[in-house]
Chains A and B, each alone.
Chain A
Amino acid sequence: QSVLTQPPSASGTPGQRVTISCSGSSSNIGSNYVYWYQQLPGTAPKLLIYRNNQRPSGVPDRFSGSKSGTSASLAISGLRSEDEADYYCAAWDDSLSFVVFGGGTKLTVL
């Protein structure tokens, strides 16, 4: 049972815009930054979004993040086949004193 809640799956067709939600509580998302990671099969998680809505160098601007209260979302516009991956949200939890993760969302590009 993950502390942060994500839908287990999402899908879209090439060119479409998809969003993935992440729900938490006041001790994690509500009071700390949300991070998003992309994990391609057989590889390590790659930082996609940090501090709620910032993109590391090299991440296309098709990826965007937002946060409101105790929820956050990742949006992917202009969906491409190479976006097919697992996506995880994460946030520091003040009550637990460590990082908590969502259970992951498997994105399928139809």
Chain B
Amino acid sequence: QVQLQESGPGLVKPSQTLSLTCTVSGGSISSGDYYWSWIRQPPGKGLEWIGYIYYSGSTYYNPSLKSRVTISVDTSKNQFSLKLSSVTAADTAVYYCARGEYSSSPDYWGQGTLVTVSS
């Protein structure tokens, strides 16, 4: 069974860069059939798609965040990562990593990690 686990700082200062890593176990991130994504959920609000990456390195980002987002993959470690620059309080959210099949919604999710943007 595939498992995903997010890791990274829980507190980031305004204007700095948020960095998170998702470690995948129980399956290879190099499987060509899946994308690996980041999704966030502000406190008390709904889900927002951030972007996704394939093992080949091809990426797609939500246009509303595109100028600030970078998603990368490290197949040797079976991990993928998120960087979100110039954060503000509006970026405070639970960040989830998830896996999905091409043109389908995610099937496996990580447990999520709360990132608070505050000085």
Cβ-defined contact, B112 with A92, below 8 A: no
Main secondary structure of the interface of B (DSSP, over half): strand
Among B48, B104, B110, the residue within 8 A (CB) of A32 is: B104
Nearest CB of chain A from residue B107's CB, rounded to whole Å: 6
Residues of A within 8 A of B49 (CB): 98-101
Residues of A within 8 A of B60 (CB): 97-98
Q: How large is the interface on B (under 10, 10 to 19, 20 to 34, 35 or more residues)?
A: 20 to 34
Residues of A within 8 A of B62 (CB): 98
Residues of A within 8 A of B104 (CB): 32-33, 35, 50-51, 92
Q: A44-B96, A99-B100 are in contact. Are A35 and B46 (CB under 8 A)?
A: no
> What residue in chain A is nearest B110 (Cβ atoms)?
A44
Cβ-defined contact, B105 with A91, below 8 A: yes
> What residue in chain B is nearest A50 (Cβ atoms)?
B107
